[in-house]
Structures are given as structure tokens and as C-alpha cells.
Structure 1
Amino acid sequence: MAEIYRVAVHYGNDNGFVEYNLETKTIKVDLAHDEKRREAEEYLAKEHTIAVAQDGIRDFKDQKVNAAQDVESFKLALTRMWEAIDLHVDWSRPA
């Protein structure tokens, strides 16, 4: 059985989840709102340059991130998804 990292997401009153398969390095978006699901799939399929915090509070370094590369890249891409496409990640809610 494949190991899956899954996190809950929501758009308005529409709840769903986004998951990353650690074995196959594939991403699945489950959301009833078709347009927002497609936006999330497109966002997670693209490479992004993200300013990642370093040692100090004002110390950031640009990092190219491909969400499907590994689970840490997937998590990092999710941290910016709400700002990019207004799909909110519910880190504390079970998916």
C-alpha cells in the first residue's frame, strides 16, 4: 500500500483534500468545485519560485519548487496556494 500525505482544503463551503503519493510522486485534488479543482491542479503542476525563510526573521532565499518532486516541496507549495488561487489549506483539520 502506498504512503499518502493528505491535507484538507476548502473553498467557501466546499470541503475537500489534496494528497501526495510518496511512492508515485503524484498529486490528487478532490474538490467538488470543478473550476477551483482545476486551478489547484494547474497550480500544483507548475514550478514556482518561493521566498523561503532562512536563519533570520528577514532572511529569505528564493527557491524553485515543483510540488510533485517530494513531500516537502508539496508542503511548501501548499503554503502559498491560498494566496495564489484562494484555496485554503486546513492544516489542523483531518482530511
Structure 2
Amino acid sequence: MSTFSVTLNYNCHYGYVEYNDETKAAAVTLPVAEAKAAVEKFLASPLTLDLPQGETIRDFVTKTLQPLESMESFKTSLTRLWGKTGVRVEWSMPPGMAEKL
């Protein structure tokens, strides 16, 4: 079983999301109910985006991802979370670190 956790930040209200690769499920922990609901809705919805693929940096392909389908889809989808929900992913901050600041 492989899990991945990353810190979330909504207007200085910190939480985290944890993805379980075995069950294909994510658990969102955020103290602001509206932000938590927005992240959960985002992760439950298909996401269409242009991804680099090909021989040059100008080659892209349009793909529709199911964010919870795989660890790769989950991580790629998180790169668009802030623009879609206003909730930032704090990639360099381990979950729980904000409580120790």
C-alpha cells in the first residue's frame, strides 16, 4: 500500500490531503468546510488539461484525468487545485508542520 500526503493552505488555514493508492481514495482535512468541500468536489470530477508529451517542449496532448484513478493522476491534478478552488498545495511543507510554527 502506498500513500501520499501533502499540506493544503486556504487563507492561512492549514490542513492536508492524503491519497491511498490501493483504495484509490483521498481524505481531505481542512478546518474551513467550504474549502474542504471544494477540494473534495475537485478530486471527484474529471479534469481536462494539456500535458506535455512528445519530442519537443512544444508538443502537448489534451487528456482527461480522473484525479483519484492513480497516484500520477492525483499528483498531476493537484497542480491545478489552486486555480480551480483557491486552495494551495504547499509542496515543500510536510503535513503537520504548520502546527509547529
Q: TM-score, normalised by structure 1?
A: 0.92
- Secondary structure class of the residue paired with 2:36: helix
Q: Supply the distance in 1 between the matched residues of 2:72 and 2:4 (Cα, whole angstroms).
A: 10
- Give the fraction of aligned pairs with identical amino acids, expressed as a percent: 36
- Secondary structure class of the residue paired with 1:74: helix
The structure that is strand-richer by fraction is 1
Tell me whether 1:71 sits opposite 2:71 in the alignment: yes
CA RMSD in angstroms, aligned pairs only: 1.1
Q: TM-score, normalised by structure 2?
A: 0.87
Deviation at 1:60, TM superposition (A): 1.6
Q: Supply the distance in 2 between the matched residues of 1:7 and 1:59 (Cα, whole angstroms).
A: 29
Alignment map for 1:1-80 (pairs within 5 Å): 2-55=1-54, 56-80=56-80
Aligned length: 94
Query: Partner of 1:90 in structure 2?
Result: 90
Gaps spanning 5+ residues in structure 1: where? none
Q: Supply the distance in 1 between the matched residues of 2:57 and 2:2 (Cα, whole angstroms).
A: 34
**Which amino acid in the other structure matches residue 61 of structure 2?**
K
Q: Supply the distance in 1 between the matched residues of 2:53 and 2:34 (Cα, whole angstroms).
A: 35
| Greater radius of gyration (CA) | 2
Q: Supply the distance in 2 between the matched residues of 1:85 and 1:47 (Cα, whole angstroms).
A: 14
**Which amino acid in the other structure matches residue 5 of structure 1?**
F
Kindly report structure 1 stretches of 4+ aligned residues shifted beyond 3 Å: none
Deviation at 1:58, TM superposition (A): 2.5
